[in-house]
Amino acid sequence: MGVHYMNYRDIDINDYDSVVVGSGFAGSVVARELAERGDARVLIIEKRPHIGGNMYDEKDEAGILVHRYGPHIFHTNNQRVFNYLRQFSGWIGYQHHVLADWYGTYIPVPFNKNSMEMVFGEEKAAHLIDKLIDTFGDERKVTINELRAQDDPELAEIADFVYKNVFLYYTQKQWGLTPEEVDPSVTARVPVFISRDNRYFQDEYQGMPQDGYTVLFENLLDHPSIDVCLNTEAESVFDLEFTDESEDAQLVAIRLHEKPFEGPIIYTGPLDELFLARFGRLPYRSLNFVYETYDEEYHLPCGTVNHTVTDDYTRETEFKHLTCQKSDKTTCMKEYSCAYTDPDTQIPYYAILSEENNAHYARYRKLTESLDNFYPLGRLAEYRYYNMDKIVELALDLSDEILARMPDVIDDGDGDAIEAVREPNEA
Ligand code: FAD
Ligand code: UDP
């Protein structure tokens, strides 16, 4: 059957039990669950001309499958999440490898025992590795902040090297901030790994959807009770109703087609945009992507090369390593990070986590708390740094919560909802 696309002008809002804003993993998983397990009719409003959010991929002019919003590699330890996604696509068991281009020498990232041998030489590295093992244990992951906090001069030497050659310049390019200035959870994503394991992730389930993410999303949204309106911005069709005229007045209803919509509204866009940035814009980082196609089978030694000490882009990714596509041509993509200043032409990719920004976000979030049927979900709406698997997990959890509240459904917890049997005298 395929995804059912509608023009917003042609819809009758009374036909729907739920409205979802955004068709990334957050919006699409909830839409599918409410339709499938709750028998709900769901309308998805998506401002882009396609489904799939930041996971969207397509073939470029050379026929190479490329990701349009940054390279996306799926990895998780959550079996429920992986089993869920397996229903909508076959998977290629891809393990991601990243090398840092260190003045022309490729060293494994996360920085590990192999990287240490390359930069310190075998003899010195053996001694330093023993020191690391004695201090933290073998096969352990240590954040750069933990390592820098050590007093021992030899550990300080390792910390200093990794800080200067892996984190400092990359972080400055990516965030416009030093590693000390970014939230510690950000650099903790890429710890020093006291191991010979050169993989970027150690999760139990890792891979790529066999035919790409867009096909996965087409299967996820291929349901007779889901309609999708593309090129439609929530702000242009939502009419917000507040308790009063004051700046901090609480949201009491969202009107669609002139009347308050009473079913669940799942919102996965930026919260500041919904409120027309009344408290000022939330800070984000944006990205520019530059693609290049080469007449050669492979151009890079692995999926991604990080430019940690030179160049003005952060990393370069060669999609064929990720997708295992066969071709005598190849396409690579460089990522240039920049400030997010213009919502009309830029995309907010990364929330910039800090106490101040989190408080700024909390002020927006507070406006929504009085509206029972409004659910902010996802990387943008929650102003968080979530990977795809976490989003799918949260979307499944939220679906469980909404389904438990829906009047006509009893969820027996095994993923298949069953219709509630109504007593004859019940309303
Ligand atoms: P999104 O995918 O951003 O979807 C939100 C959707 O809502 C979009 O389609 C948007 O157009 C739509 N929308 C927003 N506002 C409105 C509005 N007002 N009206 C209508 N529609 C609206 N995670 C991993 O697990 N592995 C990776 O390798 C990985 N790589 C990444 C690389 C980059 C460069 C970035 C930025 C992120 C990466 N991620 C990765 C994280 C991943 O992109 C997110 O976890 C995921 O996109 C979150 O899904 P979402 O549905 O919350 O948001
Ligand atoms: N980072 C770095 N050098 C690297 C890799 C990562 O400094 O070679 C830092 C940088 O601050 C980055 C953060 O670690 O933003 C998280 O890296 P990750 O690869 O997880 O970023 P993402 O894939 O989410 O952009």
- pLDDT value at 390 more than 50: yes
Angle at which helix 153-162 crosses helix 113-120, to 10 degrees, equals 90
Interstrand relation of 374-376 and 350-351 (parallel, antiparallel or unpaired): unpaired
Phi and psi based region of residue 190 (left: phi greater than 0; alpha: psi -120 to 50; beta: remaining): beta
Tokens of 19: 């409205």
pLDDT band at residue 418 under the 50/70/90 scheme: very low
**Ligand 2 atom closest to Cα of 170?**
7
Averaged pLDDT score across all residues of the chain: 95
φ, ψ for residue 332, nearest 5 deg: -120, 160
User: Does the model's pTM come out above 0.85?
Assistant: yes
CA atoms within 13 A on the CB side of 397: 10
Whole-number Å distance, alpha carbon 346 to ligand 2 midpoint, is 21
What's the pLDDT at 102? 97
pLDDT band at residue 408 under the 50/70/90 scheme: low
Does ligand 2 lie within 6 Å of residue 166's CB atom?
yes
State which of 189, 305, 311, 350 you would mutate to test the pocket of ligand 2, scoring each by most atoms of that ligand within 8 A of its C-beta. Answer: 189
What's the pLDDT at 228? 98
What's the pLDDT at 1? 81
Across 218-270, the runs of DSSP E, i.e. the strands, are 226-229, 239-242, 251-256, 259-260, 265-267
- pLDDT value at 424 more than 80: no
Whole-number Å distance, alpha carbon 234 to ligand 2 midpoint, is 32
What's the pLDDT at 306? 98
What's the pLDDT at 243? 95
Closest C-alpha among 276, 162, 213, 229 to residue 52: 213
State which of 72, 75, 173, 203 you would mutate to test the pocket of ligand 1, scoring each by most atoms of that ligand within 8 A of its C-beta. Answer: 72
φ, ψ for residue 282, nearest 5 deg: -75, 140
Instruction: Give the tens place of pLDDT for each residue, 177-210.
Output: 999 999 999 999 999 999 999 999 999 999 999 9
